A and B are shown apart, each in its own frame.
Chain A
Amino acid sequence: MTLPRRRFDTLVIGAGGGGLRAALQLAQAEANVAVVSKVFPTRSHTVAAQGGINAALANVLPDNWHWHMYDTIKGSDYLGDQDAIEYMCRAAAHLVIELEHAGVPFSRQADGRIYQRRFGGQSQNFGGEQAARTCAAADRTGHAILHTLYQQNIRARTHFFDEYFAVDLLRDEQGYILGALVLEIETGEPLIIEAKTTLIASGGAGQLFRTNTNAHINTGDGMAMALRAGIPLQDMEFFQFHPTGIAGKGMLISEGVRGEGGYLINRDGERFMERYAPHALDLASRDVVSRAIYTEVKAGRGCGPKYDHVLLKLDHLGEAVIAQRLPAIRDMARTFLHIDPVEQPIPVYPTAHYTMGGIPTDRHGRVVVPAGHGEERIPGLYAVGECACVSVHGANRLGGNSLLDIVVFGRAAGNDIIEYLKENRYHRPLSDDGIAAAMARLTRWEQRGDGESVDGLRRELQQVMEEHCGVFRTQAVLEEGLAKVRQLRARLDHAVLKDHSRIFNTARIEALELENLVELGLATVASALGRNESRGAHSRVDYPQRDDERWLRHSLYFRDGETLDYKPVRMKPLTVESFPPQERVY
């Protein structure tokens, strides 16, 4: 079977903020770029980001990039790579200004400059007073940035393949990545996109967990594609649970609410964060606040008839502040809870939010794998955004650093690709063998007859992940979880679809997504089981301490044989002194 083929210099998989920022850099340099997205670009989940993007502009309070760097490293529980973190924090101000020039409608302060709010884990002077570093467009910052980046790509005439689903990477025998097999969702027709460079920017995998803040499409496809291409995933045990999802439903209530002065209370009306983070209180790091809420509820101090959540109080901010700074949060509370936060507190509980782990890259977005005593790059392959692990977030991401990550490394990858293309001018030949394996993933779902449903299996997976790999973990619970996910993977082999139409077959897309999620579930549980310490978002009740002696290193999970390997954290920044690990208190 010969499939239709298209050829581009660069294939970008994903049209969220990461993919679009990279595509813009490339299109402006007149490279021939194709952006493939399974949804129309402005429907990517970057659109849902609320609170803002970090940069030490010092518009509201004194600030500089070095303090931002310190906070990011401390927030990462010292697992972040300090060269990449320095690079990101230094670039931040320039990139936010660039977004403003591109048209992002940031909120403004009286002097006309960009408004910045307080966010968790931010300090002045290396651990001193609270900083205000998060640049905001009301509480719709992600929407503002994503739409602006898409608009600028329209202007730059980027080539979009909207509603195309990437199935698998294509790789030759020398290890070069030569593009991907994609599926046009509307017609069900497969297509080969050949490219000299491929950038994965496919976002996170929040759909691994039952209650999450993520969109239906956040199934980590690009990470699973990397695994199948023989590339390991890094630090998958670190999954961020956001402290304030709407209890029982999962939609996010931005940290911006606490940044504007909201705070958490338990059943007794007590402001309990005073006990867990006496200094930073409600603006401690997310892992710290999530554990505090979980502990309060476990101790019977939860609110509501089932004692199963805590309350986020913001009525004291007054209607004017809420209407101006938090309009979308107010809408959401009204729509989903029928309460007006101007009058009533919002019930919240920790909710799966952000994938810290992902495809291992260096600070140019180049995908790297272990080789000998060091690392080597996968030629032709790049990754940025939530699917990648640079690693700037380490064991725990700070709020406002992800929107920053996607624009900083989207641009960096774009620049590196331009260099790579100068040295690699020609397409390498693509054999049919690699294509056959990728096609088999599609044809497998043509199978008919009786079998389990994809939907049922996905629900089970999400339940297992929540119960066995949540905020607190133990060896026994994780081991059981691993066995269950393995069983689910075996059962998925026998699942069948009832919908066999070629036209806009969403059931088939969901089947392919579930295959990806199961791979990532295994990677997450296996990596969590491997790490016998507590660090950042990974809390092992049986190993409650951080253990820098043995565990100040990144995990790497390989699909082949489900094996784990480790590599050192890059402790050496680019120009400044290293920040050695210290006890982490807020």
Chain B
Amino acid sequence: MKFLIYRYNPETDQAPWMQALELAEVRPGMMLRDALLELKAQRDETLTFRHSCGEGVCGSDGLNVNGRNVLACITPLKGLREPVTVRPLPRLPVIRDLVVDLSGFYHHYRAVKPYLIAHDPEPEVERLQSPAQRERLDGLYECVLCACCTTACPSFWWNPDKFRGPAALLQAWRFLADSRDQATAQRLDELEGPYRLFRCHTIMSCTDVCPKGLNPTRAIGHIKQLMLTHQV
């Protein structure tokens, strides 16, 4: 199988370049991460990328493959068009090869106060939550912070400093939707203004690419709606 892989080492390369590599044997069930590991082991040890769990839960290996953001470890080789073009996640500063600088992405995540805020005294036992209330968190808490969505979002490309981006907004909604959280007004206030939330123009690219099947667009819609009802 033929690959074309984005390479850039700031120590030695003037500019990024594409490296053609070939994988001799594609075994059944092989994932893209397996292929990259073999290419690194057998062809070029300097090929650099992040990865860890190998099963789609740690969110380390978000990459742009044939133009689409994916997690390499759960992307089957079978079905990929050749040459398989592998690039870092779009529009973020590249540290080396496929490794991007995610500090801006993490900054937006931390900025939405992604933790439960409750003011009532803590009961001795668990806070009660009905199965229906708990169900509202499904499709939200599972986010692996892979950045596939945010780096596929045109609004984020144009305003990376000011627009929180789909991943952070999904987490903002995860806490707004939690029956145990008591900081709704504060959370909504902090998302006011033309940029943080309202740069989202419902283009849906985020939802389209999320490798965990989550739906940031819908979460953003819920926040906007809540803002409206909250104001009146």
Q: Which residues of A contact B (CB under 8 A)?
A: 39-40, 42-45, 47-48, 97, 100-103, 105-114, 137, 140, 143-144, 147-148, 151-152, 154-155, 186, 215-217, 249, 251, 328, 331-332, 335-338, 453, 455-456, 497-499, 501-507
Instruction: Encode B41-74 as 1/0 by CB contact (under 8 A) with A.
Output: 1000110111111111111100000000000001
Chain A: minimal CB distance from B116 (Å): 3
Chain B residues within 8 Å of chain A by Cβ, number? 54
Chain B: minimal CB distance from A114 (Å): 5
Q: Which residues of B contact A (CB under 8 A)?
A: 9-12, 29, 40-41, 45-46, 48-60, 74, 95-97, 99, 102, 106, 110, 113-116, 118, 122, 124-131, 133-134, 137, 141-142, 144-145, 175, 178, 180
B46 adjacent to A114 (CB under 8 Å): no
Q: How far is the CA of A338 from the CA of B30 in the complex (A)?
A: 12
Q: How far is the CA of A106 from the CA of B74 in the complex (A)?
A: 26
B114 — which chain A residues lie within 8 A by C-beta? 151, 154
B59 adjacent to A335 (CB under 8 Å): no
A216 adjacent to B128 (CB under 8 Å): no
B137 — which chain A residues lie within 8 A by C-beta? 105
B106 adjacent to A114 (CB under 8 Å): no
B95 adjacent to A504 (CB under 8 Å): yes
Please judge, given known A-B contacts A43-B59, A503-B10, whether A216 and B106 are in contact too, CB under 8 Å: no
A504 adjacent to B131 (CB under 8 Å): no
- Best-surrounded residue of A105, A107, A109, A498 (most CB of chain B within 10 A): A105
Please judge, given known A-B contacts A39-B60, A154-B115, whether A100 and B126 are in contact too, CB under 8 Å: yes
Chain A: minimal CB distance from B219 (Å): 15
Closest 8 A-B residue pairs measured CB to CB? Answer: A103-B116, A112-B128, A151-B115, A43-B58, A455-B41, A499-B46, A100-B126, A504-B96
- Smallest CB gap from A43: residue in B: B58
B48 — which chain A residues lie within 8 A by C-beta? 504-506
- Best-surrounded residue of A43, A100, A112, A114 (most CB of chain B within 10 A): A43
30 pairs of residues in contact across A and B, judged by CB atoms under 8 Å: A39-B52, A39-B60, A40-B60, A43-B53, A47-B58, A48-B53, A48-B58, A101-B116, A101-B122, A103-B175, A107-B131, A108-B130, A108-B134, A144-B141, A147-B141, A151-B116, A154-B114, A155-B115, A215-B53, A215-B54, A251-B54, A251-B55, A335-B56, A455-B41, A503-B11, A504-B95, A504-B99, A506-B50, A507-B40, A507-B46
B45 adjacent to A498 (CB under 8 Å): yes
Q: Which residue in B29, B51, B53 is a CB contact (below 8 Å) of A45?
A: B53
Q: How far is the CA of A20 from the CA of B102 in the complex (A)?
A: 21
Q: Which residue in A40, A44, A113, A453 is a CB contact (below 8 Å) of B45?
A: A453
- Best-surrounded residue of B48, B57, B124, B128 (most CB of chain A within 10 A): B57
Chain A: minimal CB distance from B11 (Å): 5
